[in-house]
Amino acid sequence: MPINEQIAAALAGLGVLAQCDHNISSLTTYKVGGRAAIFVRAETMQDLLLVARVVCETGVPMIPLGRGSNVLVSDHGFAGLILQLGEVAQQILLPRAEVRDEMQDGVAVACRVTAGSAVALPVLARRTAAVGIRGFEWAVGVPGSVGGAIRMNAGGHGSDISESLVSAQVLDFRTGEISTVLTPEFGLRFRASDIDDQQLIISGTLSLTYGSPQESLQMIDEIVRWRRENQPGGQNAGSVFVNPVPGEITAGQLIDRCGLRGFRIGSAEVSIKHANFIQADVGGSAQDIVTLMRHIQRVVGDTSGYELRSEIRLIGFEKES
């Protein structure tokens, strides 16, 4: 990938922390797409603050990457910096183990859980359930990270992260400052928020409740079973489009009604198992996926009048693609 002045300056400022012309496709669940001009995995707070300073000084485009479960990288790659958090954002802080009642005066007892933004949602769901903390079981089937879940208000099975999120630690790349931001300031809504690429989630604090480990683990088993029975595995990024009328009309239903289940463009195919999933062939093309997405949007719009909004973050694509 060509190195422009911004990228050259950023590489110089980051030193050994930066990896040049790095393959990003392997860090996404689609496993297709191109390379990033710069890739950094920040393991320490010192690493993270250095990245913030360099981004601020050079103006190099920067995109945070979690577990890559809802992103698609262009075949041409990304002419900027992709930042992924490592050990600095992997911690899980649970309440101290002690004897406590599940209910007080008929009300479930609340507790606080803090998790780093790089923590996988299924891991946090199982960790909390195992110690008798309930309210996060829904996340066991979502293959993303805590930070990504906050940014897009991820959810499923009748809940989402806005139901329990109290606050998050945020690094603002415009100022280099870290602050605690309360949930209302994020503008969380159905599968969206007001968080931008200059605001990096470092950790989130959740308000959950004490309960029965057995009940929570049973709920988790039921969610996992349902997902295996109703959603495909393989190379995909989960639901491609946001449900246009949550709780009433799903994107999958609209796509199905148009007869697009199994429809293929090149190396991308609408899943036979779930019409709101697009499967990518091994060694396939990111452009094929985007072209299929646009085709689905046109057909559904012409047929039903609904404009489907993508849940997938497109990186390195021109707006018209």
69 is catalytic: no
The active-site residue out of 41, 137, 151, 311 is 311
Catalytic residue among 35, 41, 191, 261: 191
- For every residue of 131-158, DSSP letters joined together read TTEES-GGGGG--SBHHHHHHHT-EETT
User: Of 62, 66, 1, whose CA–CA distance to 27 is shortest?
Assistant: 66
Which residue in 117, 145, 167, 239 is the catalytic one?
Answer: 239
Q: Which of 46, 122, 43, 53 is nearest to 89 (CA)?
A: 43
**What angle in degrees, to the nearest 10, is found between the helix axes of 45-58 and 5-14?**
150
Q: What is the C-alpha to C-alpha distance for residues 171 and 181, in angstroms, rounded to an integer?
A: 10
Please give, one letter per residue, the 3-state secondary structure of 194-220: CCCCCEEEEEEEEEEEECCHHHHHHHH
Active site includes 311? yes
In angstroms, rounded to a whole number, what is the distance separating the alpha carbons of residues 266 and 268?
A: 6
Half-sphere exposure of 261 (CA within 13 A, CB side): 11
Catalytic-residue membership of 215: no
Which positions are catalytic?
191, 239, 311
